[in-house]
Amino acid sequence: MSYTGALREVREELAPEIPNLAQELPMNEFAICDALYAALVHNGMEPRDLRAIPEIDWIKTEQHTMVAWGSGVMRHGMVEGEDQDTHFRPGILPIAEVEAHAPPGTSPTRRLVTALDCAVDNSARGLLKRYKTGDNPRGLRIVPALSERYVEIGYRRQDIVRAHEGALVLGEESLSLLPALSSVTFAPEIGKHLNFINEKVKGDEAAKLAAAHDTSSLPYGLSAHNVHKSGAARDALQSVLRTAQIIQDPETGRYIVKTEDGHAFHAPRVQQGARDTTLKCPARIDGNLMALITASINAAGLFGVFKPSQQA
């Protein structure tokens, strides 16, 4: 396994321990990093190999481990159910508020995106508030220490990037815990996916819902995070999908995406069994992200997103 794969794996292992590690940060600012190092050694990596890992990768892993813990807590507070029956818990989506304040003519997809954006942001803010005041089952006040550490290493990360790539400024999610947990690109990517389904799938609401679920990893394939180092690659991917079609596989009955030249489009596969990993992992879809994507697709019916179309 590459060191990047090992870092992702140990991040998943340590995410549930963040509440305990955060309490050590005031005494030892390297508490999380030390735990990552120890876990990697325990998993079989040699200390000399660990010393060769670039500092920026240690920083990103430490930040992602913090977000991983928060993402897991948010996921369990926001959704219920399993697999394609995953739905948002009652009261999570501000449906009435969005409907009341949406300007006339706002599309159903736009209203859903607004509701999703509010729900994720509210969940992130609620999480930080609970763990800032100690108003949680364990009575922990860990957010101040986590936030301070996140900012500190975030600016160190920015300094490293600037030194190697010039005057590049990292996004807020790399410099502050709230934007990282809020995952501001999540809702718009869902909107793109649903618009893609409406455009490409011929049939009724049930057909479009099934197609959206069968291609539910596609929003991540469209995400800028998946090809963040190359705008050209992102543009090329979106260009391919503009001419692609969604068809039902005659053998499985599942909907698949086929490009203009007849090849199947393979979005990142879902990591079954992945625990509390970040919503924004740049290499794969984890259980937390998949649960929110599935619940979002199921919520499309609440806003009348899927529009019946004539069969081809």
Helix (H) or strand (E) run with residue 104 in it: none
Q: Reply yes or no on whether the pLDDT at 260 is more than 90.
A: no
DSSP letter at 43 equals T
- What letter represents residue 130's amino acid? R
Measure the N-to-C terminal CA separation of the chain; round to a whole number of Å: 47
Segment 262-279 mean pLDDT: 48
pLDDT band at 90 (very low <50, low <70, confident <90, very high): very high
pLDDT tens track for 122-162: 999 999 999 999 999 889 999 999 999 999 999 999 898 88
pLDDT tens track for 221-246: 544 333 333 444 455 556 666 777 88
Q: What is the DSSP string of 243-282?
A: T-EEEE-TTT--EEEE-TTSPBP-PPPB-TT--S--TT-S
Say whether 80 sits in a helix, a strand or coil.
Answer: strand
pLDDT tens track for 174-213: 889 998 888 777 888 899 889 989 988 988 999 999 999 9
Q: Reply yes or no on whether the pLDDT at 3 is more than 70.
A: yes
Neighbours of 197 (CB within 10 A): 25
Kindly report the pTM of this predicted structure. Answer: 0.84
The tokens describing 222, both together, are 């469209």
